[in-house]
């Protein structure tokens, strides 16, 4: 039988937009065939489908490189979003790739955590996805067998926690994990807060009866983040391997990262919307339990620290801007009020929702607010995360050969309302906030998922993306390691 030849060169042309990449902004039509960008230029021939982007900005689909979906929690706590609802909200907010976490349980296997997580994700995701690993029990088997083979199979990033009893590693364990990252070409993400200081402060606060949500911020002052950030940097220096410090909240942690870089160390950093748009006051100015909605770690700081975060976004301190979406309902027994109780702050599940609002918050307040260039916006929300986690240039780029994952922006007044969001969480910390833009169209591999009003895509077409070697890793170790002196 003769093949059916299309009369069109392209399945879709996104026409007339102002195309923004991490390095340039230019007028171009985008020609798409079989889900891939195949041509960029002016006056491209008609496509089978035409999408009008005249006068509007087109950016790569967002890559949210830090979000938690359907991650098992100790009962009765349960995340409100699974892959279905979480990735629906991602698509409607302009994010086309997510990287959530397959978390090892202490005493359990990491490989088993990955296969369990695939069962939760496969066939249920509306956008493409890769997995980070969480290493909570680095036994010899995990370090020498499981991690190396998982890295080879496309899980090239893992998170190590310095806090949370069920997840934290001691310094020796972190060194072991960093050593695996170095030898096998992976990137380690570090949650940097000093666990013992937090526990000591928490007990003191509890002894004084100070258990309302707002005291969560008092139990995790900047000092505990500063100390742990410095320690993580020292551990990375000892092993001579890059690390990425996640969810950096303010000045003192940033100073440590700048110090590390000034000493020639490869320290990367991520921040999140909560450190730009919330403060500790959102955890409550009195003992009201509503502050539980904004309990996350590290906690939001103050206005002065928000400014320091903006400065770091602009000047290259940060490589990645993620949501750290950790979805727990405010009402009900599974979320912020376990067993329907208003509990002491130490028992409030940590985390806030943000997958759907991340892109619009930064576009509106960063780009349209005159704080960030369009190129920097693209770098932070798409290109940087894709490079950092081995997905570039398939993801995070508008170039020939890249997946046609795109956002066309509508610059219009928007008031954030939880009722209009698509996650399964009963609140947003940004309720009532006025923005100047929202994604007017999201395309995943050339198909329209969100048209500015509703999800219109094929459901559950998200594909698993095995990650390659993170492109931020050096090609060869620097050779300047402390280890060379004991192992010449």
Q: Which residues bind ligand URP (CB under 6 A)?
A: 68, 191, 247, 296-297, 324, 326, 350-351
Cα(477)–Cα(183) distance, integer angstroms: 9
Residue 64 makes contact with Zn ion by CB under 5 A? no
Please identify, using beta-carbon distances, which residue of 84 and 324 lies nearer to Zn ion: 324
Q: How far is the CB of 299 from ligand URP (least distance, A)?
A: 8
How far is Cα of residue 70 from the mean position of the Cα atoms in its chain? 15
CB of 296 to ligand URP, least distance (A): 3
Residue 51 vs 296, nearer CB to Zn ion: 296
Per partner kind, with CB cut-offs from 5 to 8 A, the member of ligand URP, Zn ion, none near residue 296 is ligand URP
Binding mask 293-332 toward Zn ion (x if CB under 5 A, else -) reads: -------------------------------x--------
Q: Which of 314, 317, 318 is nearest to 373 (CA)?
A: 314
Q: How far is the CB of 377 from Zn ion (least distance, A)?
A: 22
Closest distance to Zn ion from the beta carbon of 89 (Å): 16
Would you give the distance in Å from CA 411 to the centre of its chain? Answer: 24
Question: CB under 5 to 8 A by kind: which of ligand URP, Zn ion, none does 187 bind?
Answer: none
Tokens of 228: 């742990």
What is the C-alpha separation between 326 and 346, in angstroms, rounded? 16
The structure tokens listed for 13 are 């042309």
**DSSP code of residue 67:** B
∠ CA 38-40-42, nearest 5°, is 140
Told to check if 126 binds Zn ion by CB under 5 A, we report no
CB of 108 to Zn ion, least distance (A): 19
Q: Whose Cβ is closer to ligand URP: residue 180's or residue 326's?
A: 326
Nearest residue to Zn ion, by Cβ distance, number only: 191
350 binds, among Zn ion, ligand URP, none (CB under 5 to 8 A by kind): ligand URP
| Alpha-carbon gap, residue 326 to 321, rounded angstroms | 15
- Shortest Å distance, C-beta 132 to ligand URP: 11
Task: Provide, rounded to whole angstroms, the least separation between the CB of residue 210 and ligand URP.
Answer: 20
- Pure H helices in 131-277: 140-141, 147-153, 171-184, 195-207, 215-219, 222-239, 251-262, 274-277
225 binds Zn ion (CB under 5 A): no
450 and 91 Cβ atoms separated by less than 8 Å: yes
DSSP letter for each residue of 276-344: HH--GGGG-SSS-GGGGGG--SSPP--HHHHHHHHHHHHHTS-SEE---B----SSSTTTTSGGG----
Bond prior to 76 in cis (omega within 30° of 0): yes
Q: Is 191 in the site for Zn ion (CB under 5 A)?
A: yes
Q: Does 132 bind Zn ion (CB under 5 A)?
A: no
CB contact at 8 A, 228 and 306 = no
Beta bridge partners of 302: none
Decide which of ligand URP, Zn ion, none touches 126; Cβ closer than 5 to 8 Å per partner kind.
none
Look at residue 69 and give the partner it binds from Zn ion, ligand URP, none, a contact being a CB closer than 5 to 8 Å depending on partner kind: none
Nearer to ligand URP by Cβ, of 97 and 297: the residue is 297
230 binds, among ligand URP, Zn ion, none (CB under 5 to 8 A by kind): none
Q: What are the backbone dihedrals phi and psi of residue 210, each rounded to the nearest 5 degrees, phi first?
A: -95, 85
Nearer to Zn ion, 192 or 239 (CB): 192
Give contact residues for Zn ion (rule: CB under 5 A).
191, 324
């Amino acid at each position: 039988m003769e093949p059916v030849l299309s009369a069109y060169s392209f399945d879709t042309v996104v026409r007339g937009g102002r195309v923004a990449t991490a390095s340039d902004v230019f007028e171009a039509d985008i020609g798409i065939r079989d889900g891939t960008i195949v041509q960029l230029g002016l006056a491209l021939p008609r496509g089978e489908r035409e999408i009008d982007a005249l006068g509007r900005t087109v950016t790569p689909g967002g890559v949210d490189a830090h979000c938690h979906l359907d991650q098992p929690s100790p009962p009765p706590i349960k995340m409100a979003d699974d892959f279905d609802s979480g990735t629906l909200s991602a698509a409607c907010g302009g994010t086309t790739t997510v990287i959530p976490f397959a978390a090892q349980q202490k005493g359990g296997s990491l490989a088993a955590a990955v296969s369990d997580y695939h069962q939760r994700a496969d066939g249920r995701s509306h956008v493409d996805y890769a997995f980070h690993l969480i290493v909570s029990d680095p036994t010899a088997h995990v370090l020498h067998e499981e991690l190396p083979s998982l890295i080879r199979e496309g899980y090239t990033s893992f998170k190590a926690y310095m806090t949370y009893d069920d997840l934290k590693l001691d310094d020796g364990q972190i060194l072991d994990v960093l050593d695996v990252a170095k030898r096998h070409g992976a990137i380690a993400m570090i949650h940097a807060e000093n666990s013992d200081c937090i526990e000591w402060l928490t007990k003191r606060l509890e002894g004084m009866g100070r258990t309302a949500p707002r005291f969560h911020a008092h139990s995790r002052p900047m000092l505990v983040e500063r100390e742990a950030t410095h320690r993580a940097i020292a551990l990375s220096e000892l092993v001579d391997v890059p690390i990425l410090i996640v969810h950096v909240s303010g000045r003192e942690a940033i100073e440590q990262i700048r110090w590390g870089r000034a000493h020639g160390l490869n320290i990367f950093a991520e921040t999140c919307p909560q450190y730009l748009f919330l403060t500790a006051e959102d955890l409550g100015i009195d003992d009201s339990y509503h502050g539980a909605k904004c309990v996350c770690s590290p906690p939001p700081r103050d206005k002065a620290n928000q400014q320091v975060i903006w400065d770091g976004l602009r000047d290259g301190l940060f490589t990645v801007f993620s949501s750290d979406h950790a979805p727990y309902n405010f009402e009900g027994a599974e979320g912020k009020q376990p067993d329907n109780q208003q509990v002491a702050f130490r028992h409030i599940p940590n985390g806030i929702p943000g997958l759907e609002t991340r892109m619009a918050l930064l576009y509106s307040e960063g780009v349209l607010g005159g704080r960030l260039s369009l190129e920097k916006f693209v770098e932070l929300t798409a290109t940087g995360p894709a490079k950092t986690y081995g997905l570039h240039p398939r993801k995070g780029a508008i170039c020939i050969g890249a997946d046609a994952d795109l956002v066309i922006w509508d610059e219009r007044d928007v008031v954030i309302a939880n009722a209009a969001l698509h996650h399964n969480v009963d609140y947003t910390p940004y309720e009532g906030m006025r923005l100047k833009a929202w994604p007017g169209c999201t395309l995943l591999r050339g198909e329209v998922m969100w048209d500015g009003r509703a999800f219109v895509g094929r459901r559950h077409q998200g594909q698993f993306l095995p990650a390659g070697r993170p492109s931020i890793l050096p090609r060869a170790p620097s050779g300047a390691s402390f280890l060379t002196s004991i192992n010449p």
